[in-house]
Structure 1
């Protein structure tokens, strides 16, 4: 609850609402923003936050949904990033191509390696999560240089708000909408 009070104080600093306004008197958009910014505990553990967030989740399932905005905070709509960044030395990869050759979700982390020099017997080389195959050379028309991949980690909290301070510096607050 203390974190929610800190978030409320920070949000109040960047809003035009009078300091005597209570959080429950805020617009639905500001309630959602305030609750989404709550961490330790997340909005799930703050009794005040459960009703406006469940209302949001319910509204999102309906046609014509429009995200409630807290205009006073100048945060706009949230962003969403389902996947974590790939580890250093790897790049974003795609599992397969969809219809008409379009790429599907960026759900892999890939790197280019020389599999002819990789060690191990069909196990991971260096325990880094990438699968290597032992080869004695580039036989049968296969190249020793190949791209290997591992599943890209998913974020526990894929939604975020970038909330500007009174000096215009944005701070990112991650949250989830799991019930």
Structure 2
């Protein structure tokens, strides 16, 4: 059995024991939170491939649109609301940058930028420093979005390690 499958089985075991203890009592708000956590942590298949997960996750997506939304939590698992990281890493050779608004303030880090010498490879004799300065340009591309921007950090009771489980919530 691969390490990934063993690790996932351990996480599912922890979550199932948590959900079993929660479900043994009358339904509470945390029951839904534990269902969401269990489904979000499913990675192979994702929650979309688990029929049991469709009702709690679709309910979550619907509730998130409401102005007074509070993320359902699973106190028995020791997790709160999930984390969220909209953007993926920049491609190799680029670094994270930000687009500035018209007042010169940087907004979110939604660009990948790099500095390039546009004159490199052209040999037209010697350049003075002003000309060379004109060759250097900053190139930017939109920073890629993560396909699974939400995550839960779940402690594996067997290994003691905290594992990050990424998931998405598109309808």
State the TM bucket, normalised to the shorter chain: 0.7 to 0.9
Is the 8 Å Cα contact of residues 37 and 174 (structure 1) preserved in structure 2? yes
- d(CA) in 1 for partners of 2:61 and 2:36? 11
User: Do structure 1's residue 178 and structure 2's residue 170 form an aligned pair?
Assistant: yes
Q: 1:76 to 1:117 in 2, by over 3 A?
A: same
SS in 2 for 1:76: coil
Is the 8 Å Cα contact of residues 112 and 143 (structure 2) preserved in structure 1? yes
Q: Structure 1 residue aligned with 2:100, among 93, 97, 110?
A: 97
- Consecutive unaligned residues of structure 1, counting only runs of 5 or more, are 120-134
- d(CA) in 1 for partners of 2:121 and 2:55? 54
Which range moved further: 57-66 or 135-144? 135-144
Q: 1:68 to 1:87 in 2, by over 3 A?
A: same
User: Do structure 1's residue 157 and structure 2's residue 148 form an aligned pair?
Assistant: yes
Cα RMSD (Å) of the superposition?
3.4
How far does the alpha carbon of each residue in 1:121-164 deviate from its partner, in whole angstroms, 9 at most, with x for none? xxxxxxxxxxxxxx996777962222112222211111111111
Q: Structure 2 residue aligned with 1:27, among 26, 31, 47?
A: 31
Question: What is the TM-score when the length of structure 2 is the normalising length?
Answer: 0.76
Is the 8 Å Cα contact of residues 12 and 19 (structure 1) preserved in structure 2? no
- d(CA) in 2 for partners of 1:140 and 1:19? 70
How far does the alpha carbon of each residue in 1:43-83 deviate from its partner, in whole angstroms, 9 at most, with x for none? 11111001001111111111111101111111211111111
- In the comparison of the two structures, how many residue pairs are matched? 159
Q: 1:118 to 1:41 in 2, by over 3 A?
A: farther
Q: Which has the higher helix share?
A: 2
Q: 1:113 Cα deviation (Å)? A: 2.0
SS in 2 for 1:9: helix
- d(CA) in 1 for partners of 2:47 and 2:60? 12
- Consecutive unaligned residues of structure 2, counting only runs of 5 or more, are none
- d(CA) in 2 for partners of 1:172 and 1:118? 45
